[in-house]
Amino acid sequence: MTKILVTGGTGYIGSHTVVELQQAGYQVVIIDNLSNSNIKVLDGIYNITGIRPEFVQGDVTDIVTLRHLFETHRDIKGIINFAASKAVGESVQKPILYYRNNLVSLLNLLELMPEYGVKGIVFSSSCTVYGEPDVNPIDETAPIKPATSPYGNTKQISEEIITDTIHSGAPIKSIILRYFNPVGAHPSGEIGELPLGVPNNLIPYLTQTAAGIRERLTVFGDDYNTPDGSCIRDFIDVVDLAKAHVVAMQRMLDNEDTDPVEIFNLGTGHGLSVLELIDSFQRATGVNVPYVIGPRREGDIEQIWAIPDKANKVLGWVADTPIDQTMQNAWRWQCRITGR
């Protein structure tokens, strides 16, 4: 069995990916410092797959811990690096925390990979690297715009660090995945997103409002230059997203002749507005979501959605979960964590 290290594997996207990796026959070791996740996620993974992944509670920015992990697991062949801090607003307040956490963790992994014979790393990047696109939808050749937050900048710098390291001749490969907007939860209701405190992102705020935890959802702006005036995003089901990591890993490890660095957009190819998403949630679940229109949120991008053709063709992967099903899964998970 091929052994994969998943950093940040108890987090939102990480936990769904661990499930898909295990179901595809990979052996998984997780390292997570639990700064933004809960150890109980391991039970959820076990309930779905019947396998409890090996878990190391540790910090990827700590090279001593990491070295010890690689000494213990000398047969790790690939890494998926989810471990990072991800709140855009917080990154503006605490830039040093974001640069240290997101960059030092990546540097440590890249430094140790050749020493321990680890062949490839899949990296979690974001469509935030494109900024506000000149045209939509966008493919991987769209220009990278100056980052509007330290968080976004860590993703741009990380992509450059990976590219420079591999171009320098390091004997490793990488697949950089630019996620659009991951939403939803595992259909089993066993794992999902666990936001700490008041959520910043649309779906957790929406499901908490539907559950009565928040009084109402505020739609940030209805005066954008879009058909209904609200922002447009490419909402991608988290299980579809997780599956892309499995095919990316297979490609990187099993194919000798692929480029050492490859970049893929991971999206559905369809843009949906915030108001359309609220509609879809209400239609799919039959649950009402009280909302008001508020002012625009500073720094928001008006509209962005992907051309996922490269991932569709090269990885043979497609995000095809209907949005209504994704909304039902998000609601099932919200009901589970609020004990409804």
Catalytic residues, which ones? 151
Q: What is the DSSP string of 129-167?
A: GG-S-SSSSB-TTSPPPPPSSHHHHHHHHHHHHHHHHHH
Complex with ligand UFG: residue 53 or 152, whichever CB lies closer = 152
Site for ligand NAD in 310-329 (CB under 6 A): none
Cα 80 from Cα 162, distance rounded (Å): 13
* Shortest spacing between CB 256 and ligand NAD, in angstroms: 28
Give the integer Cα–Cα distance in Å for 69 and 120. Answer: 17
Binding mask 97-126 for ligand UFG (x = CB under 6 A): -----------------------------x
Residue of the chain from 28, 122, 231, 311 that contacts ligand UFG (CB under 6 A):
231
Of 322, 314, 323, the C-alpha closest to 266 is: 314
Among 77, 173, 186, 233, the residue binding ligand UFG under the rule CB under 6 A is: 233
Q: Which of 300, 312, 314, 325 binds ligand UFG (CB under 6 A)?
A: 300
CA distance 75 to 81: 17
Contact by Cβ (8 Å): 104, 162: no
Shortest Cβ 85–ligand NAD spacing (Å): 6
Applying CB under 6 A, the span of 75-83, 161-169, 215-223, 246-254 interacting with ligand UFG comes to: 215-223
Q: Which is nearer to ligand NAD, 18 or 289 (CB)?
A: 18
Mask 60-89, x = binds ligand NAD (CB under 6 A)? xx--------------------xxxxx---
Tokens found for residue 235: 């909402």
CB of 103 vs ligand UFG, minimal distance in Å: 16
Tokens of 324: 């209504």
**Among residues 20, 59, 159, 262, which is the contact residue for ligand NAD, using CB under 6 A?**
59
Beta-strand relationship, 261-266 and 173-179 = parallel
Using rule CB under 6 A, residue 179 touches ligand UFG: yes
Among 21, 56, 79, 127, binds ligand UFG (CB under 6 A): 127
What lies within 8 Å, CB to CB, of 29 at 6+ separation is: 3, 4, 5, 6, 53, 54, 55, 56, 69, 73, 76
How far apart are the C-alpha atoms of 41 and 77, rounded to whole Å? 24
CB of 222 to ligand NAD, least distance (A): 23
> Is residue 82 within 8 Å of 17, Cβ to Cβ?
yes
Structure tokens at 322: 């209907």
Binding residues for ligand NAD (CB under 6 A): 7-8, 10-14, 31-37, 59-61, 82-86, 101, 105, 124, 126, 179, 181-182
Binding residues for ligand UFG (CB under 6 A): 86, 88, 126-128, 179, 181, 200-202, 205, 217-220, 231, 233, 274, 297, 300
